Chains A and B, each alone.
Chain A
Amino acid sequence: MSATPKNDAPQTQAPGVHPRPFWSLRPQSDRQSGDAVTSNFLLHWFPAKSFKASLAWGYSFWLGTASAALLLLLTLSGLPLLFLYIPSVERAYASVKDIEYVVAFGAWIRAVHRLSAHLMVAVVFLHLVRVFLTGAYKNGAGQGQKREWNWVIGVGMLLLTLFLSFTGYLLPWDQLAYWAITVGTNIASSVPMVGASVRELLLGGRTIDQATLIRFYVLHCIFLPAGLGVLFLYHMWRVRKDGGLAKADHVALLAEKRPTEPSESKTYTLLGVARGTAPTVRTVSLEAPDTTVNSIPDLTRRLAIVILGTIAVVSMLSVFVHAPLEEPANPLITPNPTKAPWYFLWLQEVVTDTTIHLGSFTINGAFLGGVLLPSFLVALALAWPWLDRSPGVSAGVWFAASRKRQNAVFIAVVVLILILTFVGTFMRGPYWHFYWPWQQWPELPARI
C-alpha cells in the first residue's frame, strides 16, 4: 500500500485503467481517493464522498460500527472455540473446563468471546436508542428512501443478537447455564395452546438434555450467525441506498434554504458537449464541497479507530474479566436464587410481579410478562416509523422539538427497563427476596 503518488504519470494511458497494483489509504489527490474506492473490493461499498456532519463523533457515537466490530471479534474468537468445544452432555462441561484451564490462551479467548457477546447486546441496544432519539428511521430529502425498513431490519438484528447470546449461554453446561435456560424456555410453554409444543420443539424433548444442547449449538454456530450476517449486509446496503445517515438529509434540507453558487450541471446535451457550452444551473447537490470530505481517508480512518479501538479495549478487558464456570449442570439442584442472563432480568422481574388472580381465574405471570409484554414492545418498535408523524426535518437531529413527546415516552421505557434490570441483577437474593446491594444474603443450605 504505497502512499506516494510517484507513479501517477503512466496511469493516464487509458481512462478507467489503473496500473497501480494497490490502492492508497492515504491518497494525495481526489483522483487517488476515488481510485481507492473503486478498485478495492472491501472499500467499494463506501461512497466516494462522506458528509462531515455524518462522521461527527457526537452524532452517532459510531455505535453501529462498534456492534459490527464486536460481531467480527465474536466470529474470530468463536473459530478456535469451535475446534475445542464438544457439544455433548457428557463432555461439554469438561471441554469448557479444558478451554479455561488447560488450553494455551483458552481462558483469554473464552473471556473475549463472552465479554464481546455481553457488550454486543449492550451496544446494539444503545445503537437502537441513538437511532430513535435522533429520529434516524425517518426519511428526509432523498428520493426512494426506505429508512423505516432499515429500522425494522435493525430490530430483527437486535432480537437475533439476544437469541445468539441466549443460545451461547447453555453451551458450558454448568449450573448457571442449565437453570437460566430452564427458566427461559419455560416462558415459552406458558403460551396458551401451542406453548408446550413450542418448548418441546425447542428442547427436542420434555427436559433439557442432549437434544437441547445440540439444537442450541447448531443454532448458535450456524443458523443465527448466518441470519445475522445476511441482515447485516442488507442493513449496510440500505444505509447506502437511503443516502447515508439521516444526519446527511438534515444537512441537505437546511442547505436548500441557503442560496448556492451557480455551478456546472452534470447534465450535458450533445450540442453542449460539442460546443463546450454546457448549461450552468443552480443545483442543490447533496455533495456540496464544503459539507463533504473524501471517504478515503476520512471515513476509513475513523472506521479503523473504532474497529481497532473496540478490539483493543475488549482484548485488554478480557485479561482482567474472566468468564465464570460454575459447577456442572445438575437437574436435581436448583440454585438459590436462579437468574436469567442479565439482559433478560428486567423480564424476569416483570414475570415475578405480573401473575394476576381474578377470582378463580389466573393469568400466569410468565405469559403476561414473558410473552405478551415483550411481544407488544417489539410490535410497537416495528410499527413506530409509521406511527411517527413528525416532519422530515426532525430526521437526524438529537431530541428534535417536534418529537419531544415520543422521545420522552421512549426514554421513560428505556429507563424503566434499566431500573428493572438493575433490581433483578443486584437486589434479588435467595427466594427472589429483595435485598439492598449492601445487605448480606442469609446463609442457606444448598441441598434439602
Chain B
Amino acid sequence: MSNGDNRREFLIKVGIGGGLAALAGQGIASLRSLVPNVSYDAPTTVKLGPPAEFPDGLKFLPDERLFVFRDGNTFHAISAVCTHLGCTVRAEALSQPETKTVDGKPLRLTHRFLCPCHGSKYSGDGGNISGPAPKPLAWCHLSLAPDDGQLVADLARPVERDFRLTVG
C-alpha cells in the first residue's frame, strides 16, 4: 500500500468519524435539552396560615394536598397523596372518634381515608388497611415560620408518626 492510499484511507476515516461525532453531538444535545435544569413546580415548603385559624379536628388544604389535624395546641399533618398511583384521597369522618397509641404516642382518630381511583383504605393515622396501597400515607414536617408565626409544612420532608408540633 502506497503512502497515497494510506492518506486517502485516513482522510476517509476522519471524514466519516467527524460526521458521526457531529451527529452524535446533535442527538445528545437534543435529548439533554429535554431534561429540565430548572423546575417550575410548586415549592415544597409552604406557609399554611396562622395556627389559630385552624379548627379543632381536620382541615383539608387542596392546593398542598394535605390534611392538617389540630388537637388543642398540637398539630400534625398527613399527605393526601395516595401511595398507590398518586390520586388525592378523601377523608371520611368516623361516627365514633377513637384514641389509639401510634408510635408510642396517643393519637385521636377522627377520620379514615379512601382513594377514589382504586379503592385503597387508610386509617386515621394514615396506615394502609386495604386495597392496593403499598405504604401508609406520608406524614409531613410542620414548623412555625420565624417571621410571622404561620404554620409551615415541608411536603418533601416525611416524618415519623409520633411527630407533633406544639404551639405556644
Contact = CB atoms under 8 A, between A and B. Distances in A.
Given A182-B87, A352-B118, A431-B114, 18 more contacts: A179-B117, A205-B39, A209-B40, A209-B41, A211-B36, A332-B63, A334-B90, A334-B117, A338-B87, A351-B132, A352-B119, A355-B131, A355-B132, A365-B132, A366-B132, A431-B119, A448-B60, A448-B90
B87 A179 contact: yes
Contacts of B63: 332
B78 interface: no
Interface in B23-47: 34-36, 39-42
Contacts, number: 95
Contacts of A189: 86
Contacts of A332: 62-63, 65, 88
A201 B87 contact: no
Contacts of A201: 34-35
B131 A352 contact: yes
Contacts of A362: 134-135
A183 interface: yes
Interface residues of A, number: 38
Contacts of B118: 348, 351-352, 365, 432
Contacts of A207: 41-42
Interface string B79-97: 0000011111011000000
Nearest to B85: A186
Given A354-B132, A364-B134, A183 B85 contact: yes
B116 A337 contact: yes
11 contacts: A201-B35, A205-B39, A334-B87, A334-B88, A351-B85, A353-B132, A355-B84, A363-B134, A365-B132, A365-B134, A433-B119
Contacts of B88: 332-334
Given A182-B87, A448-B91, A336 B36 contact: no
A432 B84 contact: no
A239 B47 CA distance: 63
Contacts of B34: 201, 204, 215
